[in-house]
């Protein structure tokens, strides 16, 4: 981090030294930059079945960012954010009881702490010229598996180098090397190896608690991608994620649009594969992130229709029986079509998931989204195929998003209500129910940018 700061400061000095002619001043140059201020208030509550513990939390924060004017293709971006726990229930771990959702508004590594938090976020230097763009420093990446996964107070952020190249409207290549991250629900920055195990490690395939935290090789993460537009209506994307001595994950997506008599239809197909690269034979199953000789694959598909302001989508995902699909939850959420906010299918093998989404614009400023899904997963006692001991479940999400205009432009208010029920017929122990199924979950979020 110290080296990145020194490099950025040196380059910023060089930009400022050469940017302003004698008739100009540093002050006037800086004033031509872009300032942005943002605030976020987030209320979250979970109501569990019967006498099981309920949770609530209210967090609020404020941040600012600044982007210098463009000088010969160079720009420097800085941002910081502070936030606080205004009020909450007890979010610290208790005997056989861990909070899943509300603690994510603050710092998951310090669940007992209720004071203010602060994070220096963007600190990046970018260069853009013609078909090429380069970025070095702290940034927010939006890739299939490494992404902001916003849904708490602060998103995932990454530190590294990133390059993008567009040869034409058809071809787009991008990729880079990441050496640090600040995962969602944390305050600090961590090396890539240190991010493993910040979130709950759950259990190994033996059924005993996983203890891979601290046993990850100190390696960077390499990401690469190539996309191609086939005509005007179809796009093919290929992504890979490579962490030496750890794993190799590949992702392929083909999507397209079809005009029909009802409006515009759309479709998509996704495939993903992953392979274990950890050759340390002396490690026990509990200390390994992926089982030895691990292999896993996922297939996902969707079809949909747009009719004026109405969007309908039917989605299906199958995780193969060969092995659990594993990807650090600290890095982002999965891109599969059956994803519905507040739950994911990472950590499973042999899953069949089907969802239906409906989205419409009720007014010029108000949007409605409904999502319903059924997820058939291995029994929660099956540690070999169910890492997080989640039972079959059915989920219903209702979301309202209001973006007013005029005097209140910049304000965004979102209300999310989720119902998640046990999808199986067998009775379950309380530890398979609390914060997992037979629950109601509410989010109320107010954002303002100016």
The number of C-alpha atoms within 13 Å of 54 and in the hemisphere containing its C-beta is 13
CA distance between the termini of the chain: 29
- Over 379-409, what HEC string results? CCCCCCCECCCCCCEEEEEEEEEECCCHHHC
Please list the residues that pair with 41 across neighbouring strands. 60, 446
Right CATH number for 2-19+27-449 from 2.30.110.10, 3.40.50.970, 2.40.160.10, 1.10.357.10? 2.40.160.10
Percent of the chain whose predicted confidence (pLDDT) is above 90:
87
Give the per-residue pLDDT at 2.
54
Burial level of 28, CB count in 10 A (0-12/13-18/19+)? exposed
Burial level of 138, CB count in 10 A (0-12/13-18/19+)? buried
Token pair in block for residue 444: 């109320």
Q: What's the mean pLDDT when you consider all of the chain?
A: 93
What is the greatest pairwise CA distance in the chain?
A: 79
Give the per-residue pLDDT at 313.
98
- pLDDT tens for residues 407-420? 999 999 999 999 99
Give the per-residue pLDDT at 22.
45
Instruction: Average the pLDDT over 119-145 and give the result.
Output: 96
CA distance 195 to 183: 7
What Rg do the C-alpha atoms of the chain give, in angstroms? Answer: 23
Q: What does residue 384 show for φ and ψ, rounded to 5 degrees?
A: -65, -30
CA distance 413 to 39: 12
Q: Lowest-confidence range among 8-12, 123-127, 173-177? A: 8-12
Q: Lowest-confidence range among 88-97, 189-198, 202-211, 378-387? A: 88-97
Whether residue 442 has pLDDT greater than 60: yes
- pLDDT tens for residues 200-214? 999 999 999 999 999
Give the per-residue pLDDT at 390.
96
H-only helix segments in 83-198: 192-195
pTM summary value: 0.93
Q: Lowest-confidence range among 152-156, 158-162, 168-172? A: 168-172
Give the per-residue pLDDT at 77.
97
Instruction: Give CA angle at 107 (192, 422), nearest 5°.
Output: 95
By the 8 A CB rule, do 144 and 255 touch? no
Q: Closest Cα partner for 85 from 68, 99, 104, 70?
A: 104
Whether residue 62 has pLDDT greater than 70: yes
User: Which pLDDT band, with edges at 50, 70 and 90, does 24 fall under?
Assistant: confident
Give the per-residue pLDDT at 95.
80
């Amino acid at each position: 981090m110290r080296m990145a700061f020194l490099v950025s400061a040196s380059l910023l000095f060089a930009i400022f030294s050469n940017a302003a002619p004698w008739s100009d001043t540093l002050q006037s140059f800086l004033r031509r930059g872009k300032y942005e201020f943002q605030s976020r208030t987030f209320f979250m509550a979970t109501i569990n079945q019967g006498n099981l513990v309920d949770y609530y939390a209210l967090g609020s924060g404020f941040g600012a960012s600044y982007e210098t004017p463009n000088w010969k293709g160079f720009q420097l971006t800085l941002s910081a954010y502070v936030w606080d726990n205004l009020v909450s229930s007890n979010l610290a771990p208790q005997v056989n009881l861990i909070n899943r959702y509300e603690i994510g508004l603050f710092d998951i590594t310090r669940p007992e702490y209720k004071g203010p938090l602060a994070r220096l976020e963007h600190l990046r230097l970018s260069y853009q010229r013609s078909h090429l763009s380069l970025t070095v420093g702290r940034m927010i990446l939006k890739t299939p598996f490494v992404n902001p996964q916003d849904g708490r107070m602060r998103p995932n952020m990454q530190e590294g180098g990133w390059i993008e190249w567009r040869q034409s409207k058809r071809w787009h290549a991008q990729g880079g090397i990441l050496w640090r991250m600040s995962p969602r629900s944390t305050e600090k920055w961590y090396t890539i190896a240190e991010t493993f195990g910040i979130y709950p490690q759950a259990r190994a395939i033996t059924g005993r608690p996983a203890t891979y935290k601290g046993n990850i090789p100190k390696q960077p993460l390499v990401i690469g991608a190539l996309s191609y537009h086939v005509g005007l209506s179809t796009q093919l994307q290929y992504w890979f994620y490579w962490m030496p001595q750890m794993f190799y994950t590949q992702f392929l997506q083909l999507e397209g649009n079809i005009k029909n008599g009802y409006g515009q239809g759309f479709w998509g197909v996704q495939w993903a594969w992953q392979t274990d690269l950890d050759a340390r034979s002396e490690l026990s199953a509990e200390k390994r992130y992926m089982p030895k000789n691990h292999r896993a694959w996922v297939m996902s598909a969707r079809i949909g229709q747009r009719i004026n302001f109405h969007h309908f989508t039917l989605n299906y995902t199958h995780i193969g029986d060969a092995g659990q699909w594993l990807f650090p939850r600290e890095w982002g959420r999965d891109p599969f079509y059956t994803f519905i906010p507040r739950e994911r299918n990472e950590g499973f093998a042999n899953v069949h998931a089907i969802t239906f989404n409906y989205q419409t614009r009720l007014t010029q400023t108000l949007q409605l989204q409904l999502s319903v899904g059924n997820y058939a997963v291995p029994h929660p006692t099956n540690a070999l195929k169910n890492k997080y001991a989640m039972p079959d479940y059915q989920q219903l999400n209702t979301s309202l998003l209001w973006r007013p205009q005029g005097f209140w432009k910049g304000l965004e208010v979102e209300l999310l209500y989720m119902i998640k029920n046990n999808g199986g017929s067998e009775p379950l122990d309380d530890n398979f129910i609390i914060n997992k199924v037979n629950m109601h979950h509410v989010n109320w979020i107010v954002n303002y940018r100016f």
